[in-house]
Chain A
Amino acid sequence: MPDPRTAILGRLRAAGDSGPLPALDTAVLERRQWPAAERVARLRKGMEAVHTEFLDATPTTWPAVVRAFCDREGLKNLLFGPACQDGAALAAAWAPGGTQLMPYDRPVEAFKQELFGEVDAGFTSTVGGVAETGGLLLMPGPAEPRLMSLVPPVHIALLRASTIQDSFWSAVKALGWGRALPPNALMISGPSKTADIEQTLAYGVHGPKRLIVVLVDDLA
């Protein structure tokens, strides 16, 4: 008896193709285009509709905006990636006292309990945004581990307005994700939510209860 792989592929091949490949008309995707300022507004509207909160900032003020938010909310600590450029910039601007910066600089196995139980918030960068529906594009990795945007109850994400793409489709092309992808990449449009109980929306079911976007206006 052939192994399952050979048997399955053999059956599929034996079925043969049926006709020519249908053409792909992507006009409906290409119609989704907006000027830069409108992309920002669309992203914001889409994400606010699913309870994402926005903080306005500039290329120079954003570390202070993050800090002010943490102080205002009385966050005990903030997890960040010290090897990431934005993480390093945040740490450089961080004055002692108040919310404590907590580096994610060791394997998760070394502090899993602490991560699940003791961390109030996580700060990450983004590699872009999606205007059409609202959404942040993240590429976790060695500098910014995957769980930073998932486990802490508050996720603070830094988004530069200039990186917002028209749609997920155009973002995939612009970022070259079809050629190479890291082990994990993702789009996030809001805090974790569910409607599994009687179609009633509830936020913060498994992932973050709050998503804060620090929106850097770098369009000028």
Chain B
Amino acid sequence: MSPNSCGSAPVHAETEVHFRDAAAKALLDPQLRANFRRAMDGLITKRKAQFPDPRDLQDLRDLSTAIRSRSLLNLPELLEQFEANCTKNGIKVHWAETCEQANELILGIMQAKGAKTLVKGKSMVSEEMHLNAFLESKGIEALESDLGEYIIQLDGETPSHIIMPAIHKNKDQIARQFSQKIKDAKYTEDVDELTAMARKVLRQKFLDADAGLSGVNFAVAETGTLCLVENEGNGRMSTHVPPLHIAVMGLEKVVARLEDVAPLYAILTRSATGQAVSTYFNLITGPRGAGEKDGPQEVHLVILDNGRSRIYADPQLRATLRCIRCGACMNHCPVYTRVGGHAYEAVYPGPIGKILTPQMEGVGVRHDLIHGSSLCGACGEVCPVEIPIPEILVRLRREATHEDLGSAVAGKGTGRTATEDWAWRLWAGVTKRPTLYRIATWFATRFGKALPAGAPLIKNWTQSRTKPVPARRSLSERMRTEGGPHA
């Protein structure tokens, strides 16, 4: 296990996790597939409606990509400037190399204030840290307040989508769950009534909580500001009502200027949920100021690495860090739509997860993920910051079987198998020798048809497709006998 990975993570043990098996199981669940299909179709339609002009969309993507690329090129300087401005504003900045360090930091901050309860706005980094489980093991209640996160926390589940964590559930399932798990709740399938129930429970929690936690969508270096994008108001509740606010962010979130945030925000909400704007865009630049009557007395920020600096070191893989976590790649992924987010058994599911998770946890441990793609390219096509996800997947597949590429990829070479190795050697041997190649193709064209569909290796292809039948004669054979422009 690499020094940067999350050792306490329950689902990411050192043993290999099999996406293939989990996906096969998910495919057999018609309810799950229906829930995802409906939701993803809706999101695709809504996103499309937000970008009526293809030129505007491309210009906005180019600008957003340039802003994120510039931020990464200047990352160490921007982080220092951001930290200095936060400190000037009264925000206490902490750094963590690992999730364990980040968890301990948060525990320490809470203990210093005697805080026993934490109410949380949505934060994927805190999911990455498995913060809730950690705090609960230390006797601190950590309650999710985003409605989707609250729903899944009631059932002890993890998010199945980074923007809509409870997307795998339909309202009947949520109605049953609320009637069983919320005190004095009656059974109703009315969405407004279900929402009102959660509001009632959570308002009391905001009121009583000793501390609030949030993520950070964008961190602004020039002002020392934390930007939070949300619709529900739970982010504002979590960051303004309790006396202590703790924010967590991945170190890649910083941008140089506040005006850089405007196009990123515009493309984020449109790509994510097909909204031109979110209900709230909250800019937090400090704790309660002189004369202010509310707001937290203290604001702390934990900046987490967890493998990001290693990803940063590689010029091609660095593009992974441009991600603004909109989830559009998931919404448009034919694999994700069919198997759902839980099949990935990773904090970040879908296409971005397929490249991020193996880089964080090691390509060997999550070897299955980088192959869970048809490379159709939809993810790269919709990505608002033009992350070449398919190219990075191919690169990681290569890294998984080679340890001699001179990269810093975690677990490189550990996915190499003797069978595959042998198959490629054989292939190389044959294709490098024209006579041998000609004999091989002669045999393949004459007898390929006779090969049984159930033969090893071929079986993997034919179990869901018809067996391909080779042409009677190879192309080069026909060129020789029938002639052609270059014959």
Contacts and interface: CB of A to CB of B under 8 A. Distances in A.
Interface of A: 3-5, 7-9, 11-15, 17-19, 21-29, 31, 46, 50, 104-108, 112-113, 116, 130, 132-135, 141-142, 145-147, 150-151, 167-169, 172-173, 177-200, 202, 204-208
Given A14-B313, A185-B285, A133 B233 contact: no
A179 B257 CA distance: 9
A183 B207 contact: no
A109 to B, nearest CB: 8
Nearest to B231: A193
A28 B236 CA distance: 30
B198 to A, nearest CB: 7
- By Cβ-Cβ distance, the 3 closest A-B pairs, closest first, are A207-B233, A142-B291, A169-B262
B281 A193 contact: no
Contact of A206 (B167, B203, B282): B203
Contact of A133 (B192, B234, B276): B276
B76 interface: yes
A3 B279 contact: no
B225 A186 contact: no
A196 B289 contact: no
B294 A3 contact: no
B39 to A, nearest CB: 6
A167 to B, nearest CB: 7
Contacts of A186: 236, 280-283
Contact of A9 (B62, B80, B194): B80
B95 A11 contact: no
B368 interface: no
Interface string B66-109: 11011001111001100000000110000111000100000000
B76 A182 contact: no
A25 B277 contact: no
A165 B192 CA distance: 34
A18 B73 contact: yes
B277 A22 contact: no
B283 A181 contact: yes
> Chain B interface mostly helix, strand, loop or mixed?
helix
A3 B171 contact: no
6 contacts: A17-B74, A142-B289, A145-B295, A150-B236, A183-B295, A207-B233
B257 A205 contact: no
Interface string B308-323: 0110110100100000
A186 B67 CA distance: 22
A46 B164 CA distance: 23
A25 B66 contact: yes
A181 B88 CA distance: 12
Interface in B158-179: 164-167, 169-171, 174
Given A113-B207, A168-B266, A172-B262, A108 B198 contact: no
B89 A11 contact: no
B414 interface: no
Contacts of B145: 206
Given A11-B309, A18-B318, A187-B277, A207 B237 contact: yes
B195 interface: yes
Contacts of A208: 233
Contacts of B288: 183
Most chain B C-beta atoms within 10 Å of own C-beta, residue among A18, A107, A180: A18
Most chain B C-beta atoms within 10 Å of own C-beta, residue among A4, A104, A169: A4
Contacts of B148: 194, 196
B289 A205 contact: no
Contacts of B89: 183
Nearest to B313: A15
Contacts of A29: 63, 262-263
Given A181-B285, A202-B192, A11 B174 contact: no
B203 A169 contact: no
A78 B480 CA distance: 91
